[in-house]
Structure 1
Amino acid sequence: MSRVTLPGMSENVGGATTGAQESDLPSGGRRRLRRTHDWAQSRAKAVGAIASVARWIGTLIALVLTVHVVLTVGGANPDNGITRFVADWSQPLALGFADLFTPEDPQLAVLVNFGIAAIFWLVLTSIVVRIIRAFG
């Protein structure tokens, strides 16, 4: 006796049913398969996305601070729009580091203070991303 196996369905092997049998199918000849949602996979994707956003934000802040250092040490025109824009954004992002050290040379002060602020943001971002992934 030959048994017909429908595409995508398993056949009865060794007495154990591993899929739908012909007699189990509705009258239309096809069985509707229910898909289950993998919540763990969705949570992992969401946590990964949140961690990526946190990493990008921290990196962007460190980049703004670094660009400010490069423009200042490189002697960029302080009246230029780009230089003013970067300087205006870097002041609040430097938190309390903007005037941490007060050497005689103003370029050295920017290099040290804003450089430390950039490193701080990179380290903080790394810690935050690890915490996010640990809870995810």
Structure 2
Amino acid sequence: MAHARARPNPADGKAPVRRAAGVVAVLFLLIGLLGFVPGVTSDFGDLRFAGHHSGATLFGAFQVSILHNLIRLLFGVAGLVLSRTVTHARAYLVGGGAISLVLWLYGLVVDRDSGANFVPLNGADNWLHLGLGIGMIGLGLVTTRAGR
């Protein structure tokens, strides 16, 4: 019986920060695509290009718009491109985490029924952005700490 490690692992030799950035990027791509899938996105007929008038919700919780989904897709593509080097992968995770924290703060202060809520954001999105911000920054720092 062959040992499972006898098969080549494509991740072998790749820095942990590059793998982490790649996984996060793929998750953004997946979520961005799912935002365009009826059934996964509730009230799909209410999906709008942008703004708080979009009544569609991903998984019945996260308010989405076409713009919101496109931003996630672009963020995923950027992550795949940036995950090619350690420096860029770390910048993607830490910088992307910082952007998520800014979105969290923005979601806390913006009037949800105003035109300024152009992405759109709701309470579930705010919690998601807080978690993403902390998680991505943490991954960027932990996977590149000295001695790794």
Shared fold per TM-score greater than 0.5: no
TM-score under structure 2 length normalisation? 0.34
In proportion to residue count, which structure has more strand?
2
State the structure with more CA Rg: 1
TM-score under structure 1 length normalisation? 0.36
